[in-house]
Amino acid sequence: MEQPPPVAASVPAPRNAASAVLDALPLPALLIDSDSVVRHANTAWRAAVEDLGDPRLHSTVGVTRYLDIVARLGDTPEIQAFAGRLAQLLGGETDRVEYDYALACPGGTRWYHLQGAPVDDSGRFVVTHTDVTARVRASRESAWLARHDPLTTLPNRSHLHQVVDAELQRAGRGPLSLLLLDVDGFSDVNDSSGHEAGDELLRQVAARLRRVARGSDVVGRLGDDEFLLISPDCPADCAATVAQRCQAALADQPFTIAGRVLRLGVSVGVATAAAGVDAGAAGLVRDADLALSAARASGRGGLRLFTPELRSAAERRAVLGVELERAIEAGELVLHHQPVLHVPSGSYTGVEALVRWQHPERGLLPPNDFLPVAEQYDLLVPLTRWVLLEAATQTAAWRDQGLALVTGVNVHARHLSTGTLVDDVFEALALAGLAPEQLVVELTETSVAEDPECAAAQLAELRRRGVEVAIDDFGSGYSSLGQLVNLPTGILKIDRSLVAFSEGRRDHAAAAIAAVVALGRACGTRILAEGVETAEQLQLATRLGCSFAQGFHLARPMPAEEVLGWVVAHSGGRMPRSWAEIQAGDPALAAR
């Protein structure tokens, strides 16, 4: 930073008109002659010199030359350049000089804006010094904030991209690796302990990453709980080693946050640009992000190196997302229906509606091929609205043909979070002209657990207005008895992992199913065994008191036009009893 001229303590000279004017100025000012001798130092100058306490600024009026004061500040090129410009002013070669300089003082650096100009034709000049320290510091702080994350003090996204671009363009560089790190379970800390605890965790994570990084590495925060580590001259195998070191630094020693001891891991995606290859910062960060997504998909604490196949898969998903949005509007989606057996009566009283995509080029796609894309591109809610209306319309059509079925429709957690589930369900029922009692809304226990209070309110309203609610895949996640007791549900669908017991595990499966059935009865909830694939599994579910069963042993999902004939054929050639008749004959159902 420049360090030219400023101020000087002085012995007051006899006052004249010019001196009086200078003393009235609020800015530190000196009156000098063409030889740069100080002829007057105003009151503001003397106060500033006393406040700064810098002996280099001392002067004696009528004796000290201003250029000598400048020389005391150092012999840098900047000071020499300023002295030259000042000499031009004194020699009449220019009529004005302006200069910004920094003055290293005992109390810290201060910044001044100097202006010099002739007073009149007498050969005297006035030099003023405006203290702009506050403005410079504010500007510097603003510039710093524009490049750093204020929470962790690490470089921010914008600055990191600049660093990556500069490194990619550096002549003679070796391989450049980016490590994108995501803290596993960070949202749980925010939810359970509050955002202040989450902020403290991020600061501690940043400190550990700083310690583990190599000397040439740059660690920054991209946003939320994602950090980026830039490793110059680091091939992919070296980057994998650095990533493992980062994982160990976070996982091996617990964090203490808000009085709690936490153990956290980190998932890492790595992308490497070979020497001489400039893919651009945005492209390289995107590759690291794709690798991170793949690492997260493999479970917590995953590590994945980028491959071109990851980019190809992402491009395919993007194309599929655009096509799916169009398919919802163009009528390319279809529903297949899997019959549900009412075990006590032996009648097929319901179906589960399962969405398929009749893709114009790829044929009939199962849900696993496009539901993850629907979730990624925020299409789950419009897709579910379509399923609700289509399922309700088809169920009403079967009713008009004399077949009374209850249809189950799967709803994602994303739909619960919108708060529109109840309105969407009853809009579909109204448009289809279907009674609420012929629809079941199915949600997984994990989706309900994301926001139990919000879920409970919507599910209670559905049941109050006649729509049944089922918890799907019960027993596959972290089942909570408190959740089961508090949630307004009428059906628990036992996950296929319990029903489809392995060799020699029949007794264990039976004990688990019996416990769920007993729990359901205590809570007034009926049990549906899903994934029934053998006669032995059906026999077990029947013996243990399950109300419903569903699975490939009973029926595979089928197009809507096949359901009526299939149900009649599996009901002894006659139309099965109506739902009202079945309900009246089943105490568990009549109790509703």
List, for residues 306-352, the tens digit of each pLDDT value.
Answer: 999 999 998 988 999 999 999 998 989 999 999 999 999 899 999 99
Is 61 part of a structural domain of the chain? yes
Domain boundary among 138, 163, 193: 138
| One-letter amino acid of 444 | T
What pLDDT does 16 receive?
A: 67
Range of the domain at 96: 17-138
Is 321 part of a structural domain of the chain? no
What pLDDT does 11 receive?
A: 43
Give the closest residue to 206 by CA, choosing from 168, 167, 151, 251.
151
Average pLDDT (100-105) is: 80
Is 533 part of a structural domain of the chain? yes
CATH code at 486? 3.20.20.450
Is 187 part of a structural domain of the chain? yes
Whether 105 and 197 map to the same domain: the answer is no
What token pair was written down for 314?
Answer: 């992402």
Is 499 part of a structural domain of the chain? yes
Give the closest residue to 213 by CA, choosing from 242, 248, 174, 182.
242
Whether 583 and 542 map to the same domain: the answer is yes
Specify the pTM: 0.65
Domain boundary among 256, 290, 306: 306
> What is the number of other CB atoms lying within 10 angstroms of the CB of residue 277?
11
What pLDDT does 176 receive?
A: 95
pLDDT at residue 586 is higher than 80: no
Whether 24 and 165 map to the same domain: the answer is no
pLDDT at residue 427 is higher than 60: yes
Whether 87 and 193 map to the same domain: the answer is no
Whether 354 and 492 map to the same domain: the answer is yes
The predicted-structure confidence for 107-143, as pLDDT tens digits, reads as follows 788 888 889 999 877 888 999 999 999 998 888 888 8
Task: Give the mean pLDDT of the chain.
Answer: 87
pLDDT at residue 562 is higher than 80: yes
pLDDT at residue 282 is higher than 80: yes
The predicted-structure confidence for 11-56, as pLDDT tens digits, reads as follows 444 456 777 888 888 999 999 999 999 999 999 999 988 888 888 8
pLDDT at residue 590 is higher than 50: no
pLDDT at residue 105 is higher than 80: no
Measured in degrees and rounded to the nearest 5, phi and psi for residue 586 equal -120, 110
What pLDDT does 591 receive?
A: 45
- List strands edge to edge, sheet with 108-118: 38-41, 29-32, 125-131, 108-118, 97-105
pLDDT at residue 561 is higher than 80: yes
Whether 116 and 191 map to the same domain: the answer is no
Whether 247 and 350 map to the same domain: the answer is no
Contact in structure between 311 and 290 (CB atoms under 8 Å): yes
CATH code at 27? 3.30.450.20
Q: Of 80-84, 222-226, 267-271, which has the strongest mean pLDDT?
A: 267-271
Report CA 328 to chain centroid distance, whole Å: 27
What pLDDT does 448 receive?
A: 73
**Number of folded domains that form the chain:** 3
Is 326 part of a structural domain of the chain? no
What pLDDT does 469 receive?
A: 93
Whether 108 and 207 map to the same domain: the answer is no
Angle between helical axes of 133-147 and 157-168 (0-180°, round to 10): 70
- Interatomic CA distance for residues 470 and 453, integer angstroms: 17
CATH code at 170? 3.30.70.270
- Interatomic CA distance for residues 294 and 302, integer angstroms: 8
Q: Of 81-90, 253-262, 327-336, which has the strongest mean pLDDT?
A: 327-336
Contact in structure between 255 and 204 (CB atoms under 8 Å): yes
Is 314 part of a structural domain of the chain? no
Is 420 part of a structural domain of the chain? yes
Quick one: pLDDT band at residue 7, thresholds 50, 70, 90? very low
Whether 130 and 154 map to the same domain: the answer is no
Whether 406 and 552 map to the same domain: the answer is yes
Residue position matching structure tokens 């007794």 = 507
The predicted-structure confidence for 382-393, as pLDDT tens digits, reads as follows 999 999 999 999
What pLDDT does 14 receive?
A: 46
Q: What percent of the chain has pLDDT over 90?
A: 52
Whether 92 and 236 map to the same domain: the answer is no
The predicted-structure confidence for 467-490, as pLDDT tens digits, reads as follows 999 988 876 655 555 566 667 889
pLDDT at residue 162 is higher than 90: yes
Domain boundary among 112, 138, 164: 138
Quick one: pLDDT band at residue 10, thresholds 50, 70, 90? very low
What pLDDT does 180 receive?
A: 96
Whether 220 and 294 map to the same domain: the answer is yes
The predicted-structure confidence for 368-385, as pLDDT tens digits, reads as follows 999 999 988 889 999 999
Contact in structure between 176 and 272 (CB atoms under 8 Å): yes
